[in-house]
């Protein structure tokens, strides 16, 4: 039988104060190396910036700096090539790397941690990691937005039913519908870029919580690591994770938008609606029903949205009970954060591809659904209103027209003029231009409207606005009015 206390306390970095080792269970319970090792690049980068600053400030000898740089280069290679021996005994990514450094270069490795704590170290690592993550997510959002604009341009004049309450409401174009999602994802990109500004501040220098007694130069470290500024308060720097929470909130919104799009794709793909075809590479079959083609990608994305929203709630809950400053609770920030980032980027990657070349509109099916739903009823009411009838009375007259058409089993545009005249004497031969889908679309000719001309113009503006948001120098909203 192995003893639960088989490890000598002295192997730990803090061993000096301890007389008893932790049990294997506690070791496993408190360790984070299995998941925080993915921060290794950031950890090395942050350590090198710290060491260079220490040397510049005369806190570290230049020979020690050279040794640290040499050791870190070796460690970098070892990890990259899978030859690094990660040890759960060394708790986390920081201790694993530091111990290895000391093994490689001796006392210089032990001097690296001067004026620093794992508390400001880990906060720095996460911010560096997340900053790259945001940049990747924004690039993917850009690809998705471009795909939606492309679809909008191709389908600017393709009529489809617009729905409210999932009932056919009014004709819109498929292009207009795609641009609605463009708007959502453009705001998502704005939100992520805004959140990036608050991620991009340097915690190092806060040390454990109160700062350090060494004459450090935080601005130098910030500049070397590409941070815009330093975190101004040492307690806040090591303890808050609001930047991570913000990122998860922004991600949960992206996923919510993806989920709404997914829900529509699933509906549109049912043979009942058949508005779109989704390329086979995004679908799977059934193991028992040979005829099936299931929209797995949209369904999974819809499902994964719950997971990301869950991570947001987890991080909010993690934070809410913590007194200042650092508490070990914060170690629990990583798995939700990493999984949010992975889920978000995977989802965006597959959606950018699917919306670029995996979706084909089926205009015949859309038109058939329009014919079924009295989609031009509002246009008939507007027609009567233009002829002088108060809108409420027009609404009432058209309601009766729908009833008659329903009884006869025809669309409004198929009702004979005589039947329409019975409902209102104001109706004349010119009504039929209004009752066609093309007429209804062309009539909605203003900024934000669905007429094909407006959709084409909106797509052009969308490209400019996307560039503006990505360059951070232009408002994301419509043309200046
Ligand atoms: N693995 C720890 C974390 O993720 C690093 C910081 C540990 N600090 C400490 N005082 N125990 O938060």
**Whose CA is closest to 79, among 114, 54, 104?**
104
Topology annotation, domain 25-111: Fumarase C; Chain B, domain 1 (1.10.275)
Q: Does the annotation mark 286 as catalytic? A: yes
pLDDT digits (tens, 9 = 90+) for 207-237: 999 999 999 999 999 999 999 999 999 999 9
Q: Does the annotation mark 50 as catalytic? A: no
What spacing in Å lies between the alpha carbon of 32 and ligand 1's midpoint? 9
Cα–Cα distance for residue pair 353/475, rounded to 1 Å = 27
Query: How high is the pLDDT of residue 13?
Result: 65
Strands 159-164 and 276-278: unpaired
- The list of the chain residues with pLDDT below 50 reads 1-9, 481
What spacing in Å lies between the alpha carbon of 58 and ligand 1's midpoint? 28
Query: How high is the pLDDT of residue 14?
Result: 66
Architecture of the 118-157+174-195+235-368 domain? Up-down Bundle (1.20)
What spacing in Å lies between the alpha carbon of 61 and ligand 1's midpoint? 28
Residue nearest to atom 10 of ligand 1 (CA): 119
What spacing in Å lies between the alpha carbon of 107 and ligand 1's midpoint? 23
Q: Ligand 1 pocket test: which of 14, 38, 330 has the largest number of ligand atoms within 8 Å of its C-beta?
A: 330
What spacing in Å lies between the alpha carbon of 95 and ligand 1's midpoint? 10
Atom of ligand 1 nearest to the CA of 330: 12
CA end-to-end distance (rounded Å), the chain: 79
Cα distances (angstroms) measured from residue 234 to each of 77, 190, 218, 226: 33, 29, 12, 19
Query: How high is the pLDDT of residue 481?
Result: 47
Atom of ligand 1 nearest to the CA of 32: 1
pLDDT digits (tens, 9 = 90+) for 49-77: 999 999 999 999 999 999 999 999 999 99
Residue ranges per structural domain of the chain? 25-111, 118-157+174-195+235-368, 377-435
What spacing in Å lies between the alpha carbon of 448 and ligand 1's midpoint? 51
Architecture of the 377-435 domain? Orthogonal Bundle (1.10)
Active-site entry in 6, 165, 287, 446? 165
- Residue ranges lining ligand 1, Cβ < 6 Å: 32, 36, 92, 118-119, 122, 326, 328, 330-331
Q: Ligand 1 pocket test: which of 118, 130, 326 has the largest number of ligand atoms within 8 Å of its C-beta?
A: 118
Atom of ligand 1 nearest to the CA of 122: 5
Active-site entry in 34, 62, 286, 474? 286
Residue nearest to atom 3 of ligand 1 (CA): 331
């Amino acid at each position: 039988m192995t003893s639960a206390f088989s490890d000598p306390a002295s192997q730990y970095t803090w061993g000096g104060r301890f007389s008893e080792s932790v049990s294997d269970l506690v070791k496993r319970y408190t360790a984070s190396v299995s998941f925080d090792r993915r921060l290794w690049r950031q950890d090395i980068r942050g350590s090198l910036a710290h060491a260079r600053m220490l040397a510049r400030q005369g806190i570290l000898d230049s020979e020690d700096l050279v040794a640290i740089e040499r050791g870190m280069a070796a460690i970098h290679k070892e990890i990259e090539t899978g030859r690094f021996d990660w040890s759960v005994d060394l708790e986390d990514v920081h201790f694993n790397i530091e111990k290895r450094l000391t093994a490689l270069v001796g006392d210089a490795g032990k001097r690296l941690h001067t004026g620093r704590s794992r508390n400001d170290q880990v906060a720095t690592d996460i911010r560096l990691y997340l900053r790259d993550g945001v940049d990747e997510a924004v690039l993917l959002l850009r690809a998705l937005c471009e795909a939606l604009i492309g679809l909008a341009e191709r389908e600017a004049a393709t009529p489809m039913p617009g729905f409210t309450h999932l009932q056919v409401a009014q004709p819109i174009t498929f292009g207009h519908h795609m641009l609605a999602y463009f708007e959502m994802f453009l705001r998502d990109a704005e939100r992520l870029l805004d959140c990036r500004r608050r991620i991009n501040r340097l915690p190092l220098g806060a040390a454990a919580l109160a700062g350090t007694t060494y004459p450090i130069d935080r601005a130098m470290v910030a500049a070397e690591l590409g941070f815009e500024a330093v975190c101004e308060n040492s307690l806040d720097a090591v303890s808050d994770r609001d930047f991570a929470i913000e990122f998860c909130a922004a991600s949960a919104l992206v996923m919510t938008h993806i989920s709404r799009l997914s829900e529509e794709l699933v509906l549109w793909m049912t043979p009942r609606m058949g508005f779109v075809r989704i390329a086979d590479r995004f679908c799977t079959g059934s193991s028992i029903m040979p005829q099936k083609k299931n929209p797995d990608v949209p369904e999974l994305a819809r499902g994964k949205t719950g997971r990301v929203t869950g991570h947001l709630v987890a991080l909010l809950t993690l934070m809410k009970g913590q007194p200042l400053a650092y508490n070990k609770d914060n170690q629990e920030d990583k798995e939700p954060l990493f999984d949010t980032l992975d889920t978000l980027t995977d989802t965006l990657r597959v959606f950018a591809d699917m919306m670029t070349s995996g979706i084909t509109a089926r205009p015949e099916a859309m038109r058939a659904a329009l014919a079924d739903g009295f989609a031009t009823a509002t246009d008939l009411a507007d027609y009567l209103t233009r002829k002088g009838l108060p809108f409420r009375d027009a609404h009432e007259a058209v309601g009766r027209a729908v009833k008659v058409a329903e009884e006869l089993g025809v669309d409004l545009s198929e009702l004979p003029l005589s039947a329409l005249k019975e409902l209102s004497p104001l109706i004349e031969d010119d009504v039929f231009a209004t009752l066609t889908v093309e007429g209804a679309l062309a009539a909605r000719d203003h900024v934000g409207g669905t007429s094909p001309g407006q959709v084409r113009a909106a797509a052009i503006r969308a490209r400019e606005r996307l560039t503006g948001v990505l360059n951070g120098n232009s408002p994301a909203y419509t043309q200046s009015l």
